[in-house]
Amino acid sequence: MKQLRWLAGMMAGLALAAVFAPAGAQPPAAPDITFGLFGDLGYRAEQEPLVDNVLAELNRTPLAFVVHVGDLGSPRAGSCTDEHWARRLAQFRASANPLIYTPGDNEWTDCHEQQGVLGGNPLERLGKLREVFFAGDRSFGQRSIALTRQSQDAKFAKYRENVRWDLAGITFITLHVVGSNNGLGRTPEGDAEFNERNAADLDWLRAGFAHAKSSGSRAVMVLQQANMFPEFTPFPGDPKKLSGGYDALRAALAKEAVDFGRPVVLVNGDSHYFRTDKPYMRLRSRPEQPAIENLTRLETFGAPNHHWVQATTDTGDPNVFSFRQRIVAANVVKPK
């Protein structure tokens, strides 16, 4: 009985200590999470079953959330059409996990005749894309999470696709940055759209890092469609045709990563080439570029390779993130 009274007293003391803990005491570490990354899938009609296989495996895997980094298909196979969008929208809504999507060039930038889309109008498609995919302030999915949208600032009201959320002590930021030189250099109207969107992206990137600093985030992850690093092959398209569509963003991301000083990961699709690397390294081709060791780039799988990437956080790891390729067995093409 005496032992029980002692134990009860000790537990009460611990409870009081928790209630009256000093205001400056460190909060408990955020729990670790696992989440999924994918994009650039379903480029031909016959690949749709492969997309279904990826989504089925994602749905069978309990994840904190899933991010689709753009390209809902290819223009020549219907990625510019309302019908194709309706299929992807239904898949996103049916996700067992919260799902966030950021646009790719194949949804709007490349919806023109040079890409096989007769009568295509990229800017019309962009307006409709925002209307269809970016309503409300929560993610897609049977379970959803709250998102902070850039459009909550009246100055950037049209940029509903740029979002931010915090989880596990990490700040996640999506940017509307697409392939095909980010839409720059094809038409005067496209250039005007690029200039406005690029300014919004730069503002959202800086605001995201400022939020991460003020919140004490242990890491930042930036997610977008475009591969901005033509010096690392493979690269989509002809690097010689680039005309500045990524220059300002590359410089801004470098500055923010250095100032933040903690792990930063950039996730992109676009080249259809699964890799992790250090894109800000000293290269002979870019001697002015600083080496930024705390920034890592992850590129997801892309058609014809229909798989996904699993990311996990670890409070005990100074790099915070680890990545695991998730090869969908049903989509493996066996060598002949």
Distance from C-alpha of 286 to C-alpha of 51, rounded to nearest angstrom = 38
What is the pLDDT, as a whole number, of residue 14? Answer: 35
Beta-strand relationship, 163-167 and 99-101: unpaired
pLDDT tens string 189-248: 999 999 999 999 999 999 999 999 999 999 999 999 999 999 899 999 889 888 899 999
Q: 147, exposed or middle or buried, with CB in 10 Å at 0-12, 13-18, 19+?
A: buried
Q: CA 319 → CA 20, 84, 261, 304, 333, distances in Å?
A: 34, 39, 12, 31, 34
DSSP label of 244: S
Question: What is the crossing angle of helices 82-93 and 122-133, to 10°?
Answer: 20
> Which bin fits 183, alpha (ψ -120 to 50), beta or left (φ > 0)?
left
Q: Which residues in the chain come in under a pLDDT of 50?
A: 1-27
Q: Quick one: fold of 30-331?
A: Purple Acid Phosphatase; chain A, domain 2 (3.60.21)
The rounded distance, in Å, linking the Cα atoms of 40 and 33 is 24
Phi, psi of 171 (to 5 degrees): -100, 125
Domain locations in the chain as residue ranges = 30-331
Q: Which residue type does 92 have?
A: F
Helix 188-215 × helix 247-260 angle, to 10°: 0
- Cα distance between residue 20 and residue 243, in whole Å: 60
Closest CA to 168 of 310, 311, 32: 32
**Cβ-based neighbours of 236, under 8 Å, separated by 6 or more:** 179, 227, 270, 271, 272
So what's the pLDDT on residue 243? 87
**Nearest-CA neighbor of 179 among 213, 132, 228?**
228
The reported pTM is 0.90
- Under a CB-based contact definition with an 8 Å cutoff, are residues 83 and 55 in contact? no
pLDDT, tens digit, 9 for 90 and up, residues 22-56: 344 444 567 899 999 999 999 999 999 999 999 99
